[in-house]
A and B are shown apart, each in its own frame.
Chain A
């Protein structure tokens, strides 16, 4: 599981560097999407740590939480699409893409 946490730390650091580079390049809106990604990695890191360390927690609890996030954000994405809310579509897609990356990595770490 340490590799998983290190990977998350690395992703957050990479996002921070990307945010700084995008802001320096005058791409503030793209930087905002990178902030959304960084936030998702950070949230996933926090919930993973909490769920793995709490009594009765463990990888199944983390998996269930990730599944819940996926369902909620998927529903928000559909809602945004229905309403033609282009910004919310981009935000929800960014969140779901980051979550899918984290889930794959977590499942791999939980197996080993």
Chain B
């Protein structure tokens, strides 16, 4: 158990609707539409809660014809509170955590389903987005310009600006028409 896992479980369960869902699941396996009816919630809202419960490892799902059937994960529920709080000390220092969180928020605001919504104006945010694009390139591999353009264009249509900026920021190295990721 890591602190992150423990936090996910605690956060997930600190919501009365999700506790109600868990309670309903103690009566037996069930599916979204039935839970929605029982708990007077929209099916899409129930799906949202189920996703959180699944991510926390508290429920599992299986497909049965048209329906997704959910079950409690007994082994997760059988953990004691003591086991949940006895996670191994880990985690980067506070500064690293803050930076990781900032990065997550920037990426969440500027990317939608893998596409860059707009090139950020602020340099710090722009760098984070460019690093995310650069992560699509294999380190040490040399890319032809056409190939690189296609990779960037899949993320944002203005691949020329991004390619130039990435060179200027020292993320890419250019040698004629060949490019290499250096960060």
Task: List residues of chain A with CB under 8 Å of any chain B CB.
Answer: 25-30, 33, 79, 83, 85-87, 89-90, 93-94, 97
Contacts and interface: CB of A to CB of B under 8 A. Distances in A.
Contacts, number: 44
A19 to B, nearest CB: 14
B161 interface: no
A29 B18 CA distance: 9
The SS class assigned to the A binding surface is helix
A25 B19 CA distance: 12
Given A30-B41, A79-B113, A93-B42, A87 B48 contact: yes
Contact of B15 (A27, A86, A93): A27
A86 B17 contact: no
Interface size class of B (residues with CB under 8 A): 10 to 19
Interface string B78-121: 00000000000000000000000000000000000100000000
Contact of A94 (B17, B44, B47): B44
Contacts of B52: 29
A30 B113 contact: no
